[in-house]
Amino acid sequence: MSACTAEPIAFGKTKETTRIVIIGAGVSGIAAATRLLEQGFKNVQLFEAEDRIGGRINTIPFANSFIDLGAQWCHGEEGNVVYERVKDLDVLDRTGDFAGYFARSNKDILTSDQYKALMEFKDEFEVKSDFEGSVGDAFTDSFWKDVGQQLDKAVAKEALDCLKRLICSEDACDHMSELSPRNFVNFAVTGGDLSWRKKGYWKFLSLLLNANEDQPGDQGILKGHVHLNRRIAEVNWSGDGEVTLRCWNGQIVSADHVICTVSLGVLKEKHKQLFVPDLPAAKVRSIEGLKLGTVNKFLLEFEEQPMPENIRGVAFLWLEEDLKELRGSQFFWLESVCNFHRVDRQPLLLEGWIIGAHARYMETLSEEKVLEGLLWLFRKFLKFTIPHPKNFLRSQWHSNPNFSGSYSFYPTYADELRTGRTDLGSPLVHVSGRPRIQFAGEASSRNHFSTVHGATESGWREADRLNEFYKGRAEN
Ligand SMILES: Cc1cc2nc3c(=O)[nH]c(=O)nc-3n(C[C@H](O)[C@H](O)[C@H](O)COP(=O)(O)OP(=O)(O)OC[C@H]3O[C@@H](n4cnc5c(N)ncnc54)[C@H](O)[C@@H]3O)c2cc1C
């Protein structure tokens, strides 16, 4: 990409002497750092803004066990580096179907045949690469040609909205009308979701780090390389030589190579202040064109599982008149709650999901207010009682300035700008080919964006890029 003019002095560094700074200790930063150490690089430092490692993998103790506030499932098997790493270790369970039950706001429930037909339609829906328009357009069109015809018109409309919410929670968009077909065409996944039993996604990080699997946050082989509570405020890459980084606390660090792994949301908010001089136009276009959506979780622990034995989960269908009333009430944000379901191997828990602008609004409410809303929602939709939980948690990925969202997607705006993940992931290199600033992170993964395996691959990609550059350079 952007190339500076000429190498001022011969670049005499080797793997032993070169200094590498990684911004962010999420899974992509950890994957890059651990691979660089394996490859023989010695001076690898990670600067992390939070007081913990893991980033959007955040496994925490809850209900006498562990739960994930962020990444939770290994999505798919074939071509999935996370699955490849653990497939022989017997640490994953295949997950079942979550919704199980479509409830209407008048407490009616759809029949199991209707449920099956709707879920099959959703799961089998595909969009062609040459489709002109949003995924929302394509989905609505096929819905009415297919399963929509088999249902009463009002129920079909409610179900269409509900299915759209479920898809938005998978793709992190606010509305399907902003979702580009590239999210389907470029995204490669084979096989269903797998869960980490009671260990949470930390299990995978513990393997990368050779750390304690029961102690989320243990830095394992990266001990001595990680600096917590060190938000990088400026990356000065002017000139041809070393890059100078300034931490929020004034600490100055110099590096020969920087791997930036901050989320797309952080790049959007901060790239203008973070990089001096400004990033090249193609990079800025990709940062502006791609999007990081908001998906949040609710976790509830009960004395006893409140869902009847045969129900694994519930999704919500709003009757038009109820929706109108809801929109005028304090609980308007509940419109974007997608579903609630049981949690594998944790029989006392329920987990729920909320998307988009209402998820961002929910983050501004107190925990008590959020719970009050959810209990109201249960009373409105369900024939059985969901009592006050023993413990309650919700995630707040958007309002945390170290993330500013949950995971990335291609909006149709990125198509209009003709930009994408290759521009985002391209390094800023010296004319000699020496990488100066590299970019990793889930949003830079072309086929596995929005996932842990995509983030992991991106970290390895950038470590390998440096390794390639140093091939043949003599060790000191
Ligand atoms: C609710 C939710 C559910 C998800 N579910 C799944 C799932 O089931 N399966 C799956 O595969 N994926 C899932 N994901 C996505 C997955 O978590 C991410 O794709 C992946 O963890 C991203 O890793 P990363 O290294 O790219 O970014 P991050 O984890 O965001 O790491 C970047 C790090 O940079 C730090 N940072 C930011 N700014 C600075 C700065 N200025 N200086 C220093 N450090 C900084 C951040 O604190 C962070 O630790 C989910 C995500 C969320 C939020």
Could you tell me the residue ranges of all domains in the chain? 19-58+201-290+412-470, 96-190+295-394
pLDDT attached to residue 189: 77
Average pLDDT, the chain: 94
pLDDT attached to residue 258: 98
pLDDT attached to residue 452: 98
Over 50: is that where the pLDDT of 4 sits? no
58 CA from centroid of ligand 1 (Å): 9
321 CA from centroid of ligand 1 (Å): 39
Which atom of ligand 1 is closest in space to residue 27's alpha carbon?
25
The answer to whether 349 touches 303, Cβ cutoff 8 Å, is no
DSSP states of 193-233 as a string? EEE-TTT-THHHHHHHHT--TTSTT--GGGTTTEETT--EE
154 CA from centroid of ligand 1 (Å): 39
The answer to whether 274 touches 409, Cβ cutoff 8 Å, is no
Residue bearing tokens 């470590």: 463
**Residue nearest atom 24 of ligand 1, based on CA coordinates:** 441
Pocket of ligand 1 (CB under 6 A): 23-29, 47-50, 55-57, 70-73, 75, 231-232, 261-263, 266, 295, 297, 395, 397, 402-403, 406-407, 441-442, 450-452, 455
* Tokens linked to 180: 């580009």
CATH of span 96-190+295-394? 3.90.660.10
Q: What angle do CA 259, 77, 397 make, to 5 degrees?
A: 50
CATH of span 19-58+201-290+412-470? 3.50.50.60
Which run of H or E residues covers position 293?
A: strand 291-293
29 CA from centroid of ligand 1 (Å): 10
Which atom of ligand 1 is closest in space to residue 452's alpha carbon?
11
Closest CA to 463 of 261, 262, 267, 282: 261
326 CA from centroid of ligand 1 (Å): 33
Helix segments in 94-134, DSSP class H: 112-124
Rounded to an integer, the average pLDDT of 279-294 is: 98
342 CA from centroid of ligand 1 (Å): 24
Which atom of ligand 1 is closest in space to residue 82's alpha carbon?
11
Mutate-to-test residue for ligand 1 from 56, 219, 268, 448, highest number of ligand atoms within 8 A of CB: 56
Mutate-to-test residue for ligand 1 from 47, 407, 445, 449, highest number of ligand atoms within 8 A of CB: 407
The C-alpha atoms of residue 334 and residue 181 are separated, in whole angstroms, by 28
pLDDT attached to residue 190: 79
Rounded to an integer, the average pLDDT of 53-75 is: 97
Over 90: is that where the pLDDT of 191 sits? no
* Tokens linked to 451: 């996932």
- Global pTM? 0.96
**Tens digits of residue pLDDT in 154-174:** 999 999 999 999 999 999 999
Q: How many residues does the chain have?
A: 476
The C-alpha atoms of residue 269 and residue 288 are separated, in whole angstroms, by 10
Rounded to an integer, the average pLDDT of 252-279 is: 98
pLDDT attached to residue 198: 87
**Tens digits of residue pLDDT in 227-241:** 999 999 999 999 999
Mutate-to-test residue for ligand 1 from 46, 95, 235, 262, highest number of ligand atoms within 8 A of CB: 262
Pairing between strand 226-227 and 43-47?
parallel
**In this structure, what DSSP letter does residue 335 have?**
G
**Tens digits of residue pLDDT in 70-99:** 999 999 999 999 999 999 999 999 886 665
Sheet holding 43-47, edge to edge: 226-227, 43-47, 19-23, 257-260, 435-439, 428-429
* Tokens linked to 371: 């719970």
283 CA from centroid of ligand 1 (Å): 20
**Residue nearest atom 11 of ligand 1, based on CA coordinates:** 451
The C-alpha atoms of residue 68 and residue 371 are separated, in whole angstroms, by 19
**Tens digits of residue pLDDT in 211-261:** 999 999 999 999 999 999 999 999 999 999 999 999 999 999 999 999 999
pLDDT attached to residue 270: 98
Percent of the residues in the chain that have a pLDDT greater than 70, as a whole number:
96
Q: Is the peptide bond before 277 cis (omega within 30 degrees of 0)?
A: yes
Position 8 confidence tier, pLDDT thresholds 50, 70, 90: very low
